[in-house]
Amino acid sequence: MRIGIAMDYPGGFHEAVDRVVELEKCGIDIVVVAEAYSFDAVSQLGYLAARTSRVELASGVLPIYIRTPTLLAMTAAGLDFVSGGRFHLGIGTSGPQVIEGFHGVEFDAPIGRTREVVEICRQVWRRERLHYEGKHYQIPLPADRGTGLGNALRLINHPVRERIPISIAALGPKNVELTAEIAEGWVPVLFYPEQAGLVWGQALAAGSAKRDPTMGPLDVMVGTALAIGADVDDRLGWTKPQLALYIGGMGAKGRNFYHKVATRYGFGDVADRIQQLYLAGRRQEAIDAVPDELARGISLIGPRGFIAERLAAFADAGVTTLLVRPVTAVSGEAVRYIEQLLQLRPS
C-alpha cells in the first residue's frame, strides 16, 4: 500500500511544502494537491516539483469542465516535464455547486465528457495530429462552426512520457464503471471500507471486465483523515465540518453525490437531517448531526492498534494508495503521525 499526503485548499501552503520536503525523506510516495474554488492546483504543483525530487505529484482533482481537454493534456505534459516524469493527472467532474455556482459553466454529460477528455489527452501525449470527432468535443472545430483553416495540429514539445497516469474522481455507478475501464486510478470520496463493496463493487467489476489488461490493476486512491495516539478521539470532531459541508451543502437536494453515498452506506436519515440543517443555514447543528460512526469509519483516528486494524480493512477493501490529511495544527505532530503510519502500513 502506498502512502501519500493530500494538501488541503486553505492557507499555509509554504509551510505545507516544507512539510512535504521533510516527508519525502521519510518515504511517502505521492503528494496530491486539491482544487475546488480555491487557488489553482497547477501553480502549486509546479512549485512542489521544484522543491522535491522523488515523490510523485498529482492533481486531486482538476475539474474537466473548466479547461479544454487539450489544455488538460498540455498542463499534464508540462508538469510531467518540470517534475522529471513524476506527475499523475487527477481529473473529475466536481459537481453542479462548483461548476455552475462558481465557474458559471453548465454541468452536463459528465460520463460522456470524461471518456472523451481521457481519449483526447492520450492522443495529445502521443503527439498525434489531433483530429477528434466526439459527441461533446470536435477538434478541429468544424468549418461551419469556426473561422480557422481546420488543420489538425499536434503538440509541439515531446512529452517525457506518452502515457501519463490518469485517475478519475468518481462516485456514481456509471462513472465508477467508466473509471475502472479506462483510467489508471480511481479516487472515491467518503470511502468506508466495510461498506464500499456494497456501494461500488458491481460497478467496479463491470468496468474491470472491459479494461485493457495491459493497463494493469486499478490504483484505488482513498483520502482519509489521520491522527494516531491514545488521546486523539476528539479529532473526530475536527473532520465533521467537512463531512457536513459535503453531505449537506455540496449540491441541491437530489443533486448531491456525497449525500447519495452516505445514504447508500445506511445513513440516509442522518444524511437527510444534515442536508436539511445545512441548507437552512444551521451549519453548526449540521456538523453536530454527523455521527461518530461515519466519521470514524472513513478515518484513521485512534491508537496504534486501532490504526493497524483499519489499515487492514482498507487493504481488504482493495485500497492501494492512502492519501492522508493529518488532523493537527502542529507540524511536528503531522510528521510524527505519518512516520508511524509508514511503519504500520501493510506490505
Tell me how far apart the alpha carbons of residues 337 and 285 are, in angstroms, rounded to a whole number: 30
Residue pair 242/286 in contact by the 8 Å Cβ criterion: no
DSSP class of residue 247 equals: I
Most confident of 12-21, 34-43, 276-285: 276-285
Indicate the length of the chain as a whole number.
347
* Contact call for residues 93 and 66 (beta carbons, < 8 A): no
Cβ neighbors of 262 (< 8 A, separation 6 or more) are: 190, 247, 268, 270, 271, 294
Look up residue 32 and give its three cell numbers.
496530491
pTM recorded for the entire structure? 0.95
Task: Give per-residue pLDDT as tens, 166-200.
Answer: 999 999 999 999 999 999 999 999 999 999 999 99
The span from the CA of 306 to the CA of 320, in Å, is 19
Average pLDDT, integer, range 94-121: 94
Question: Domains in the chain, start-ordered, CATH in brackets?
Answer: 2-228+299-344 (3.20.20.30)
pLDDT in tens, 21-62: 999 999 999 999 999 888 899 999 999 999 999 999 999 999
For residue 46, the tally of other CB atoms under 10 A from its CB is 16
Spell out the residues 6+ positions from residue 176 whose beta carbon is closer than 8 angstroms to its own. 170, 186, 188, 200, 203, 204, 207
Per-residue pLDDT, 96: 86
Q: What is the amino acid identity at position 85?
A: G
